[in-house]
Structures are given as structure tokens and as C-alpha cells.
């Protein structure tokens, strides 16, 4: 089959706050090819990502993403690799391109899986999909008491693992952070898995991060995530070498496989976290998973939005039995829930797994999304390059 059409849906909650909650808007991608329909989701700025698909070219190595996708042959995983390489070459100087292409790539795999009647993780070379232990991804409360309540709420739902981040963590005193960690550990109990997301707060300041290691260790935190700017490899490595038990995690900002591999190779991280809505799709993510296995690093998905994004992000490590943690969007905005209601449930045994149904195994209910749709119109040089046509 050939790629017949690529459509973007910019969805948004009525109000966007400046909380670091990425589920407040969404950019869905729908691809049709030979009668099949595939879906993907960019974890990226909707307007800017759409612009990168339709922009006029600047020159041969700064072409719109559309130039490398529309009308391409799509019959095998090799075709998707070829399209991905085309985008990397033709849009070399278009920085936003990997974010735009990530959702497209998911939709291409979804089409291919549906056409062959197999789940995407089989197309990626796995023979089965292992259960993963979901962790609830939360923002810290404003106070330790609030953090305690948030964690308890998730524990009550059955979560045995929780990640907390942002809301000032790392910006104040070590004591303030320690109080937050104590509340979280208290709430989850001694057997619970506690993870912390530093959200790049220390930039390249290894000392500021190392000052928290004793506290993180005492509260048995499994990993400290994104302590530094994403490519500050030497800072990552220095912290990893100073830590005895707490591992360093990172990688969500990677917009190609090599960035994540470099963070493992030079940054000595213990967990590599990949968002398939940013890294350039499932093929790039699978390369990261393969390297992680060879390097003894644990692969984890990064997902804060819909079940569509979650399914996509599970595929590249679905078949890795020992890579068993999974970021699970515990409290997404209703927009993210409405994209694909309850598709990936938590099993009675407390686990989730990538769906067994063909493609990504997640259906999108467009009718339920009309209320969130944001029309976009782009005119360049007096010509419409995108009309307000992004509706059902």
C-alpha cells in the first residue's frame, strides 16, 4: 500500500495552565493507506509540529516532513525505516521534524500491524509481550502533607510504584526536598517503589544534585531522573559515579536513537527513558532498547498522556522480560482519557502489557474528541497552506 493521507488533530483542554502536565493538549496523527487507518500521537507542541509538516521548503536539506512521507510505499518494517531515514535527511535542518515525525511513525506501524493482523511488537521482532509494573507519575504536592495524600490516593488504586517530580523539587533546601521524600516514602510504605524526577533543575551542577544523594538513598529512591540538561553527559556520569544505590535515569528528551545511546555510553545512566512521541518513533526507540540490553541498562517508557501514546511507548520493550517498570499516566486530564478510553487497563495482578490486538491495539474515538478540537489555519505568502480542515 501507499501512504494516501496524513491528517493532524490539535486537541486542547479549554484552559492550559503552566503546570508541567503534558496531558493538557495533544496532537493526534491519522494516516490512511490502502484502506487501513493508523493512529499516532506527537508528544510535542501541536502548532509547531503541524507547521513542520506543511511548511514551504527552505532548501534541499530543510524540507517539510510531508515531502518524505506522503505517497511513500508501506509494505514492511523496512519501508518505515526508509521513510524515517528520508525524513532525517530531507529535514536535516528542520529542528522540529523528529517531533512531528514521531506521531507519523507510530501511525505507520499501526497501519502495518493492522494490514498484517499482528501487534506492532511482533513486527519489531518480539515473540511475546511481558507484563510491566506500572508506576503512577505525579507532580509533588505544594507541601509534604499534600504529597502524602497524592501518593496514598494512588496506593489505594493499587499502584505499588510512584514517581514524583517538579513543583519546586531541587530549587530550595535539601531539607525541604527531604521532607517531601519522607512524606512520599511514608505514604507508599517500605515495600513500595519510589522514583523522583528532578526535571533538569540542576542544569550541569553536579554538586547540587550530589547534595541530595544521602536523602534519596535514605528514602530508598530507585532513581533520580533528569537531574541535568539532557546532553550534559559528563554531569550525568559524575553523579552516577558518586551514588552508591540510587541510579540515575534520563533520556526522555532524546529526539533520535543516538542521543539516548550517548546518554548510556557516556552518561552512565541506569535507566533509559524513551518517549516514542519525541524520539522519532518506534524504530528509533527499538534501537535504544537493543543497545540498553547490550549495555545492562534498564529501558523504561516515558508517557504522560493517552493510552495511544502508552501503547506506542510499550511496543519497543514489550518483549524484554527484565525491563519491567512502566510509566503509567495515573491522573491525565480528561482529554487524554477521552482519546482512547480504558484501552490499557491494569490487570488484577497489578500489571499492564502492550495490547495483543493488531497494530497498536488502540482505537481512537473521534466523536468524543470534537469538543477538544482546535482548528488551525496557516497562510504563507497569501496562500493557504493549511485550511481549518482538521475536523472529523
Please work out the total of residues on this chain that contact a second copy, with binding judged by CB under 8 A: 66
Q: Is 1 a residue that touches a second copy (CB under 8 A)? A: no
Q: Identify the residue among 234, 242, 324, 357 touching a second copy (CB under 8 A).
A: 234
Q: Give CA–CA dist 149/154, Å, rounded.
A: 9
Q: Binding to a second copy by residue 339, rule CB under 8 A?
A: no
Residue 85 near a second copy by CB under 8 A: yes
Spatial distance between the Cα atoms of 266 and 279, rounded to a whole number of angstroms: 19
199 CB neighbour count, 10 Å cutoff: 17
Residue 388: alpha-carbon gap to chain centroid:
28
Per CB under 8 A, does 382 bind a second copy? Answer: yes
190's CB contacts (< 8 A; 6+ apart) are 220
Asked if 240 interacts with a second copy (CB under 8 A), we say: no
Assess 88 for contact with a second copy (CB under 8 A): yes
SS3 313: helix
Under the criterion CB under 8 A, does residue 198 sit at the interface with a second copy?
no
Q: Which residues in the 269-308 window bind a second copy by CB under 8 A?
A: 278
Residue 115 C-alpha cell reads as 494490514
When binding is defined by CB under 8 A, the residue of 231, 293, 324, 331 that contacts a second copy is: 231
Of the two residues 62 and 346, which places its CB atom closer to a second copy in the complex?
62
Least distance CB 335 / a second copy (angstroms): 12
- CA 294/CA 152 separation, integer angstroms: 37
d(CA 373, CA 26): 10
Q: Which one among 3, 8, 9, 25 touches a second copy, defined by CB under 8 A?
A: 25
Report d(CA 276, CA 301) in Å as an integer: 8
Residue pair 83/23 in contact by the 8 Å Cβ criterion: no
Site for a second copy in 96-125 (CB under 8 A): 96, 98-99
Closest separation in Å from C-beta 373 to a second copy: 9
b/e 125-139 (16+ beta carbons within 10 angstroms → b): ebeebbbbbbbbbbb
Burial 364-380 (b: 16+ CB within 10 A, else e): beeeebeebbeebeeee
CB nearer to a second copy: pick between 64 and 192: 64
**Phi, psi (degrees; rounded to nearest 5) at 350:** 85, 10
- 190 lies in the site for a second copy, by CB under 8 A: no
Q: Residue 159 Cβ, how far from a second copy at the closest point, in Å?
A: 23
Binding residue (CB under 8 A) for a second copy from 5, 34, 35, 56: 56
**8 Å CB contact between 279 and 310:** no
Stretch that binds a second copy, among 69-77, 121-129, 198-206, 306-314 (CB under 8 A): 198-206
User: What residues have CB less than 8 Å from 159, skipping those under 6 apart?
Assistant: 134, 135, 136, 328, 330, 350
How many CA atoms are closer than 13 Å to the CA of 45, on its beta-carbon side? 8
Identity of the residue, 176 or 203, whose beta carbon is nearer to a second copy in the bound complex: 203
SS3 state of residue 165 = strand
142 binds a second copy (CB under 8 A): no
Residue 213 near a second copy by CB under 8 A = no
Q: What angle do CA 92, 20, 262 make, to 5 degrees?
A: 40
Q: Decide whether 59 or 175 has the Cβ nearer to a second copy.
A: 59
CB of 64 to a second copy, least distance (A): 8
Residues at the site binding a second copy, with contacts judged by CB under 8 A: 10, 12, 16-22, 24-25, 43-48, 51-52, 55-63, 85, 88-89, 92-96, 98-99, 199-200, 203-204, 229, 231-234, 253, 255-256, 258-259, 262, 265-266, 278, 374-382, 388
Amino acid at each position: 500500500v501507499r501512504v494516501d493521507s496524513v491528517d493532524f488533530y490539535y486537541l486542547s483542554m479549554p484552559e492550559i495552565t503552566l503546570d508541567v502536565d503534558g496531558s493538557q493538549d495533544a496532537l493526534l496523527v491519522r494516516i490512511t493507506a490502502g484502506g487501513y487507518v493508523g493512529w499516532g500521537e506527537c508528544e510535542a507542541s501541536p502548532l509547531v509540529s503541524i507547521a513542520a509538516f506543511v511548511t514551504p521548503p527552505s532548501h534541499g536539506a530543510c524540507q517539510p516532513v510531508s515531502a518524505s512521507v506522503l505517497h511513500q510505499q508501506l509494505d514492511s518494517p523496512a519501508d518505515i525505516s526508509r521513510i524515517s531515514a528520508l525524513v532525517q535527511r530531507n529535514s536535516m535542518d528542520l529542528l522540529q521534524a523528529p517531533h512531528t515525525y514521531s506521531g507519523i511513525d507510530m501511525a505507520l506501524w499501526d497501519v502495518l500491524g493492522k494490514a498484517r493482523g499482528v501487534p506492532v511488537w511482533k513486527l519489531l521482532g518480539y515473540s511475546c509481550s511481558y507484563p510491566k509494573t506500572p508506576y503512577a507519575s505525579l507532580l509533588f504536592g505544594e507541601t509534604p502533607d499534600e504529597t502524602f495524600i497524592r501518593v496514598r490516593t494512588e496506593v489505594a488504586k493499587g499502584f505499588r510504584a510512584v514517581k514524583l517530580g517538579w513543583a519546586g523539587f531541587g530549587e530550595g533546601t535539601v531539607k525541604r526536598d527531604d521532607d517531601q521524600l519522607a512524606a512520599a516514602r511514608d505514604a507508599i510504605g517500605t515495600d513500595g517503589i519510589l522514583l523522583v524526577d528532578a526535571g533538569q533543575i540542576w542544569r550541569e551542577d553536579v554538586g547540587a544534585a550530589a547534595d541530595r544523594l544521602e536523602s534519596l538513598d535514605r528514602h530508598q529512591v530507585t532513581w533520580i531522573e533528569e537531574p541535568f540538561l539532557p546532553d550534559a553527559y559528563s554531569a550525568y556520569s559524575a553523579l552516577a559515579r558518586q551514588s552508591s544505590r540510587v541510579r540515575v535515569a534520563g533520556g526522555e528528551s532524546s529526539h533520535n536513537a543516538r542521543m539516548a545511546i550517548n546518554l548510556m555510553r557516556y552518561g552512565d545512566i541506569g535507566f533509559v527513558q524513551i518517549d516514542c512521541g519525541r524520539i522519532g518513533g518506534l524504530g528509533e526507540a527499538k534501537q535504544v532498547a537493543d543497545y540498553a540490553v547490550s549495555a545492562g541498562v534498564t529501558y523504561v517508557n516515558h508517557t504522560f498522556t493517552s493510552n495511544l501514546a502508552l501503547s506506542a511507548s510499550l511496543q519497543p520493550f514489550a518483549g524484554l522480560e527484565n525491563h519491567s517498570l512502566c510509566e503509567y499516566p495515573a491522573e491525565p486530564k480528561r482529554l487524554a482519557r477521552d482519546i482512547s478510553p480504558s484501552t490499557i487497563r491494569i490487570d488484577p495482578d497489578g500489571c499492564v502489557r502492550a495490547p495483543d490486538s493488531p497494530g497498536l491495539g488502540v482505537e481512537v474515538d473521534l466523536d468524543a474528541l470534537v469538543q477538544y478540537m482546535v482548528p488551525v489555519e496557516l497562510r504563507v505568502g497569501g496562500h493557504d497552506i493549511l485550511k481549518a480542515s482538521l475536523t472529523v
